[in-house]
Chains A and B, each alone.
Chain A
Amino acid sequence: MSHMTNPLATPDQLYQRRALGSLPIELQDAIFFSTQCLTQAAGILLQLPQSVTAQANVILARYLLVEPIMAYEFSELSAASLFLVAKMGPSPRAPRDISNVYAYLLSSSSSFFRPPSSPPPVNDPSAYYRSDTSYQAFHTRVLAIEARIFYALGFDTHVSLPHPIAITYLQALDFLNVRKEKIAKRTLEYLNTALLSPQMLYCTSQPNALAVAAIYNAAKDVGAKMPECEWWEVFDVDREELGFLVVGMRSVEGWAKKMREDLPKMAQGMIKRRDVEEELARMGAATALGGEEDAEAEMARRMDQRMEEMETS
């Protein structure tokens, strides 16, 4: 049964996320989104199959439900998760290649995470040249994060993706009035977008539910005729979960658009920890990061936050 199931987040883990990072949740979501996008971009440049990149996305999402988001540089978290998933599978990638790809994506020469309206960046190879010492340091950090991710997940890196399940379901459903390729493509688009969702859908729902929700959305979009009955029950998905996922998947695009408007920093390439600290300062919160603040103040701040949570809930 293991290729049908994933370990899921506990309600506690989902709830703790806000306390874990000591960051405002909007900021955490924005970081999460951009880090997942970075993993996808790196996966493409490294010519990894989407199945590997998608697994790396899921592994990272799980990790972020266990460990604070500010413990490591975001881009290196992304690199480590991609490195470790690729390494376990049939298409490992050399650390040097990974290092080059990330150096490029983070440089000013890459258009990654810049608004499409901005002029194409000037290609300046010196901007993404990585010296041997800087590569060695990057490599060492990635290896440390790799071990940390394994530790945080109890060494369970099993990921079952909904993509193949969705294709099987589509074949079973046999939408006669639309071309198969069309609806299959749309379904996979929904599944891939859901990887980026800060709602961490892959950590809250089993793959069969994700597959059914993506099919539902795709069928709506392409105008396919769905069975009149409650067909999702055939695939063991109940209406409530389906509803939640359908909305969750559809909301990613709008959310991302709004996030970029709210956080202009996000439109200037991949966000870094330093940016977050500045952003925090701008937002008026005390810098509570990297042990620069003394423990007492940190504790007081956390307690305040707790109280606030208890009052609101």
Chain B
Amino acid sequence: MASKASRWADDGEDAALEAQRKKEKEEKKRLKAEKARKLEAEKQAREAAAEAAEAEAASQQQDTDSANGPPSKRRKVSPERATSNGAANSSRLLRFEGGTFTKSRSVENYDKLNDIEEGAYGWVSRARELSTGKVVALKRLKIDPKDRGGLPVTGLREIQILKDCDHRNIVKLREVVVGDDTSKIENIFLVLEFLEHDLKSILEDMPQPFLASEVKTLLLQLASGLSYLHDSYILHRDLKTSNLLLSNRGVLKIADFGMARYVSIPPPPKLTQLVVTLWYRAPELLLGSSRYTSAIDMWSLGCVFGELLTREPLLQGKNEVDELAKIFELCGIPTEESWPGFRRLPNARGLRLPPSAGGGAAAGSIIRAKFPLLTLAGVSLLSSLLALDPERRPTAKEVLDHEYFRQDPKPKSEAMFPTFPSKAGQERTRRRETPNAPGRGEKLADLGQIDFSGIFAGREMEERGGGFSLRMV
């Protein structure tokens, strides 16, 4: 067993152990003599001594193993260390646990119960783990065998990011399993924790909107999950109500990381603009920015906020141009003042805007008029999230500290959250009415020369009429 591998295999350790035992005995004897002097520190000292002995033993082991030998420095220091045991207290080393790696298990460890939904990137079903009886959600990766790019990058990124995340408001990936035939890996399933609802179907079915206190709880949880993601350099890039899950205990979790990716700060120069479902897409994306930041998620958060209040998606554009028109209608027309530099974005060059009447000042008031039941602080939060200029949107952390959440009514405790009949738990699949996030490799919408002055022509006339001036109050 003189091979290289033996150094970290058993025999090396055995020899080291034996040497260590001998050392330990010596150390103990010596320590006994010192016992009177160091009664209190004795236990720690012994541990530290054992550590030192171990290191010594190891270095001796390596001495015999290798012609190079360890640097002599280590041996020189070690006796000093044994005598200075009193101070050994400080050398508690941090252990980094990264886990291990091993083959994926088979999907046969799970018993499928019912389908939950079929999305753009695969289907999801409810299943039970045979050995534990735990109910989970199985999400199957859509794999196109004709795709010569191999396994889909989006799915692989989703796996990687979910594996790295550990937060109560982010759905947990328990493992990844594969079909039984492992000679060809064609069926890949993500085993996710199961939550009874998604916000979208709850909103569609509930007779009354959420109470203000409930909206606050949901929003706080969403912002807390988002703050974790952004702190970990992850952009979600597809936040929308159908991707937010809710448990029967009122816990919200962010799901579906098919669009997510790691980014650096400052952001890398060429991010794809083909992200985020149209209705939740930030104006800088629509205008073709490829150097966007976490502010795009904050915009989506604003859209979700609005949707929680009204049960209706806030900005339901029919296409990119219509979406922009709806955004400008709600948030005002961008000016050099309200959004410095927006003219330099690729799709903004051909943009013809009406002379801004009111601009940023009017924006807040339109939002105010649209949500008459929202408090002043609520309006200020919502309109800051829906700021056209990404720089002016608050970060997720700032949202968590916002005045809105400190005002009455206070956020409702999660335990007090109402329960809803679960669609996912029943034998019914969710319907999807929101459009899907754009697919990879789709053609970028070239907004080209768009004349927005025409779209707003009507509104300009409106402004002159009585209806619009009422809104201005």
Q: Let me know if A204 and B93 touch, CB within 8 A.
A: no
A84 CB–B CB distance under 8 Å:
yes
Q: Let me know if A151 and B182 touch, CB within 8 A.
A: yes
A280 CB–B CB distance under 8 Å:
no
- Chain B: minimal CB distance from A275 (Å): 21
Q: Let me know if A244 and B74 touch, CB within 8 A.
A: no
Tell me the nearest residue of chain B to A24, going by C-beta.
B3
Stretch in B54-62, B115-123, B196-204, B275-283 touching the partner: B54-62
Q: Let me know if B104 and A5 touch, CB within 8 A.
A: no
CA distance A90 to B157 in the complex (A): 12
CA distance A84 to B151 in the complex (A): 9
Binary B-proximity of A5-16 (CB < 8 A = 1, otherwise 0): 111111101110
Binary B-proximity of A282-313 (CB < 8 A = 1, otherwise 0): 00000000000000000000000000000011
Stretch in B64-72, B347-355, B393-401 touching the partner: B64-72
- The contact of A246 among B1, B9, B70, by CB within 8 Å, is B70
Instruction: Give residues of chain A (29-71) contacting chain B, Cβ–Cβ below 8 Å.
Output: 29, 62, 65-66
A276 CB–B CB distance under 8 Å:
no
Chain B contacts of A216 at CB under 8 A? 71
CA distance A60 to B272 in the complex (A): 30
Binary A-proximity of B412-452 (CB < 8 A = 1, otherwise 0): 00000000000000000000000000000000000000000
Q: Let me know if A5 and B96 touch, CB within 8 A.
A: yes
Q: Let me know if A84 and B59 touch, CB within 8 A.
A: no
CA distance A8 to B98 in the complex (A): 7
- Chain B: minimal CB distance from A54 (Å): 17
CA distance A25 to B81 in the complex (A): 39
CA distance A148 to B181 in the complex (A): 12
CA distance A248 to B276 in the complex (A): 48
CA distance A11 to B8 in the complex (A): 8
CA distance A240 to B78 in the complex (A): 11
- The contact of A204 among B8, B51, B185, by CB within 8 Å, is B8
A143 CB–B CB distance under 8 Å:
yes
A255 CB–B CB distance under 8 Å:
yes
CA distance A87 to B159 in the complex (A): 14
Q: Let me know if A25 and B5 touch, CB within 8 A.
A: yes
Q: Let me know if A150 and B151 touch, CB within 8 A.
A: yes
A157 CB–B CB distance under 8 Å:
yes
B77 CB–A CB distance under 8 Å:
yes
Q: Let me know if B150 and A146 touch, CB within 8 A.
A: yes
- Contacts known (A88-B153, A143-B150, A238-B51); A250 close to B68, Cβ less than 8 A: yes
Q: Let me know if B5 and A14 touch, CB within 8 A.
A: yes
- The contact of B10 among A4, A15, A146, by CB within 8 Å, is A15
Chain B contacts of A158 at CB under 8 A? 160, 163-164
B344 CB–A CB distance under 8 Å:
no
Tell me the nearest residue of chain A to B176, going by C-beta.
A155
Chain A contacts of B160 at CB under 8 A? 88, 156-158
B467 CB–A CB distance under 8 Å:
no
Residues of B in contact, count (CB < 8 Å):
61
Q: Let me know if A233 and B74 touch, CB within 8 A.
A: no
Residues of A in contact, count (CB < 8 Å):
72
Q: Let me know if B96 and A1 touch, CB within 8 A.
A: yes
CA distance A26 to B1 in the complex (A): 12
- The contact of A312 among B1, B91, B156, by CB within 8 Å, is B1
A17 CB–B CB distance under 8 Å:
yes
- Contacts known (A2-B164, A240-B55, A240-B58); A230 close to B81, Cβ less than 8 A: yes
A167 CB–B CB distance under 8 Å:
no
Q: Let me know if A251 and B66 touch, CB within 8 A.
A: yes
A267 CB–B CB distance under 8 Å:
no
- Contacts known (A25-B3, A158-B164, A208-B96); A220 close to B68, Cβ less than 8 A: no
- The contact of A240 among B54, B81, B100, B176, by CB within 8 Å, is B54
- Chain A: minimal CB distance from B230 (Å): 15
CA distance A244 to B148 in the complex (A): 43
A132 CB–B CB distance under 8 Å:
no
- Chain A: minimal CB distance from B181 (Å): 11
Q: Let me know if B58 and A206 touch, CB within 8 A.
A: no
B111 CB–A CB distance under 8 Å:
no
A127 CB–B CB distance under 8 Å:
no
B184 CB–A CB distance under 8 Å:
yes
- Chain B: minimal CB distance from A290 (Å): 15
Q: Let me know if B156 and A83 touch, CB within 8 A.
A: no
Chain B contacts of A2 at CB under 8 A? 98, 164
CA distance A250 to B182 in the complex (A): 39
Instruction: Give residues of chain B (248-266) contacting chain A, Cβ–Cβ below 8 Å.
Output: none
- The contact of B150 among A147, A157, A204, by CB within 8 Å, is A147
- Most A CB contacts (10 A, CB to CB) among B55, B62, B97, B102 go to B102
Q: Which 8 A-B pairs have the closest CB atoms?
A: A5-B98, A147-B185, A239-B55, A155-B176, A240-B58, A236-B94, A240-B55, A7-B101
Name 10 interchain pairs, CB-CB below 8 A, sorted by A.
A7-B98, A7-B100, A15-B9, A65-B101, A88-B157, A154-B176, A155-B163, A204-B8, A247-B65, A255-B4
Interface residue ranges, A against B (CB under 8 Å): 1-2, 4-11, 13-15, 17-18, 25-26, 29, 62, 65-66, 83-84, 87-88, 90, 92, 95, 139, 142-144, 146-148, 150-158, 160, 198-199, 204, 206, 208, 216, 220, 226, 230, 233, 236-240, 242-244, 246-248, 250-251, 254-255, 312-313
